[in-house]
Amino acid sequence: MKINKVRVVRWDITQNCNLNCIHCLHPQQGDTYIPLQQMTPILNNLKKMGLKQVNLSGREPTTHPQILEIIEWCKKEALEITLNTNGSFLPITEFRKLLNLNLNSVTFSLDGVDGNTYQRIRGKNYFESVKNTIKESTHLVKENGLPTTICINFTLNSLNINTDPSSLLALAQDLNIQRLEINPLMKIGRAYQHWDVLSVTDKQLFHFWERTIISWKDHNYNYQLLLGCRAQEYHCLKHKHAVSIIDPTFSHCNATDTIYLDYHAKVSPCFLLSHIMHNENIPWSFLATPETTLEQINTKFKDFFIFVEKHQDNNCHDHRDCHKDHCETCPIIETLYPEIPSPSLPPSLLL
């Protein structure tokens, strides 16, 4: 297992955020951000290694003071740009400027179908404002023929697990988006700190998946639906309800073509590592050196690749051919959930 080419960079470009979400991947608020002039040498070097796409994330990437300049630079370099945002920071006039730069996709985090649930999860009630931004965005994309896919990500936890799926599906339809992703909460960041409050059972998750599929089947929605369910859940739902649904989003390991960089100037082959363990605290400054090669990058990540390759099922390609009792595609994810038998992390990866 190794990186043959760096196709995607996921970059958390700022530690700043205007919200205080109870399940945020990043437990600490701060003012740290990566200036564009520090980003460009790294991106230029990674382009030589096959870089095609930059995913801008953060805490909230639109709080970055150079967000428009970053996107402009990347598009000028013929790089695809995807953006993860809560959608509540920029006024709609500024968001229009952002969309007019021809992003490839924008994913809005929207974890409730009403203001009360939204506020309990995100700390502030920008629900109506975010809905308006999403609707304005989809209108602008279609009106001007922009290449941007507008998505919503809905993260399931104890505060929204009792949501009527039909209400969520109808909301997505009303907002005129192109894709709805529904994913289970991951036990990292602030979610780890509040796991006793936020966690849901496998039975609750499956019940939500099933109610979603039933409602989806009864309507003719014009957007894609992606469920972050496990392999056995996917097969059960697909055959039980005779419905064609999108394969689960977590169907393969991205560590072989993706590099993760954070706002603390650290680099990793997997975004989970920066949240639950370290990989020798590798600084991403070495990526800015023109002499840096893929071989050197793979050497830096050697312990990680050995661990994943040792414990990952080599016959696992995607969920369509899987009939196991539980998902084993990612041994890193499995270490987060004590109820699933998982491998022990090697000392070189432990916190």
CATH number at residue 89: 3.20.20.70
Domain assignment present for 1: no
- Residue 123's pLDDT is 93
Whole-number percent of the chain with pLDDT over 70: 82
Q: Are strands 258-261 and 149-156 parallel, antiparallel or unpaired?
A: unpaired
H helix and E strand count, the chain: 14, 9
- Domain range enclosing 205: 8-349
Q: Is residue 2 part of a domain?
A: no
Residue 3 falls inside a structural domain: no
Q: Is residue 335 part of a domain?
A: yes
Give me the residues paired with residue 54 across strands. 9, 81
Residue 344 phi/psi, 5° resolution? -85, 135
**Residue 345's pLDDT is what?**
46
Share of the chain above pLDDT 90, in %: 54
The pLDDT, as a whole number, for residue 349 is: 45
pLDDT of residue 281: 58
Q: How many domains does the chain have?
A: 1
8 A C-beta contact, residue 56 and residue 75: no
- The predicted pLDDT at position 186 comes to 87
- pLDDT for 45 equals 93
Give the pLDDT mean for 17-33: 88
Calculate the alpha carbon distances from 20 to 17, 36, 90, 263 in Å: 8, 26, 16, 18
The model's confidence at residue 58, banded by pLDDT at 50, 70 and 90, is: confident
3-state helix, strand, coil in the chain (%, to 5): 40, 15, 45
- Given a cut of 90, is residue 262 above it in pLDDT? no
Q: What is the CA radius of gyration of the chain?
A: 20
Mean pLDDT over each residue of the chain, to the nearest integer:
84
Backbone angles phi, psi at 288, to 5 degrees: -80, -15
Whether pLDDT at 33 is above 70: yes
What is the C-alpha separation between 86 and 334, in angstroms, rounded?
A: 27
Flag whether pLDDT at 39 surpasses 60: yes
Q: Which of 98-102, 131-135, 139-143, 226-230 has the lowest mean pLDDT?
A: 226-230
Q: d(Cα 28, Cα 20) in Å, to the nearest integer?
A: 10
- Decide if pLDDT at 258 tops 80: yes
List of residues 6+ apart from 266 with CB closer than 8 A:
274, 278, 281, 282, 283, 284
Taking residues 65-84, report their average pLDDT: 97
Distance CA 79, CA 72 (A): 10
Alpha-carbon distance of 56 to 40, in angstroms, equals 14
Q: What is the mean pLDDT of residues 186-196?
A: 88
Instruction: Average the pLDDT over each of 175-179, 229-233, 288-292 and give the range with the smallest value.
Output: 229-233
pLDDT surpassing 90 at residue 70? yes
Instruction: State yes or no: pLDDT of 7 exceeds 60.
Output: yes
pLDDT tens for each residue of 311-335: 665 555 554 555 554 455 566 666 5
Q: Quick one: pLDDT at residue 316?
A: 54
List the single range of 151-160, 226-235, 246-255, 341-350 with lowest mean pLDDT.
Answer: 341-350
Identity of the amino acid at 276: I
Let me know if residue 42 belongs to a domain: yes
